[in-house]
Structure 1
């Protein structure tokens, strides 16, 4: 046995086996880590090819996503164009309606200006009438609801009639023919407010509520 291990031939065989085994294991390790081949006289590694393939797949998927977004945007724009075309068809009729409404607005503005002018005129007339009315020093006459004869129940003269409390109908009848000389409502938003009138002898006052007659000049 000792002669066997001391033999150069034996040692050569052992060393050869070790070298072959080592080379085989190193090559297998390299092969497991990076497979490679030769393309166009260049060595291409498996990992590099796999990376490039993955990048291509990622780019492809992104392109598909971008394409879907473009299709969606295209459909939206197509819908917008359709709506614009429909609106253009109705443009003339809509313009006519706008012009008609504008004309009505101008007409109403003219009416309002006319009413404003009439209100101003009436206010001026009212101011003239009220400015010319001055209360006398005589005591006011208080009347309950009922009928009163001027010259008997109420002195002949000029009076400003005003309601006491709630509004009321106020009528003055001519003593000769019974026609209504005064027919108004005192003290309501729809009525004429206070009323100045001449109380002639024989005329009849009719009031549906309490009123006060203020003697005026």
Structure 2
């Protein structure tokens, strides 16, 4: 009985040892499998490749560098855009000033044209007034007996004989002495005596008015000036 019981105890211990061995072996197998699975899972698809963790870090660093380059280019483009915006703003300001200048120019031109019209109107009024003044002066001279000189240049003759229409135009003249006194005589074309006087000096006339008609003959003993009158 003791022998059988001892044999059973021995078999039991042997069985227990066998089970422990298998448990340990199974644990080792599980650890090995888990390591292989973990190592396999540590590999992920990236750019259609299987990369390790270190390769993945290198890939990420490369992408970060590329991202920084992209950011730098974007910043460069942004600065250019800001420059264009600033330049556009300046150009818009210049354009606005040009438009204001054009508007003011148009207003000034309108004002100048208006003033020019006013000046022309005033000139016309002045010419009308001058005509009226001349007319009134003529009327006044006629009423008071005053003599009004024409705008024609006076004609100066030396001492001698002259013919009206050849040496001097026909007109009504005011004869005045030039320098010394002397006889002043006028005959008509028919030989009739029209003027016989002395111009200048203490006893002569300071001026003499007469009609010089075509063919009249003028005799001067001293130079005289003939001023056309109305």
TM-score interval, normalised by the smaller of the two chains: 0.3 to 0.5
Larger Rg: 2
TM-score by length of 1: 0.39
TM-score w.r.t. the length of structure 2 is 0.37
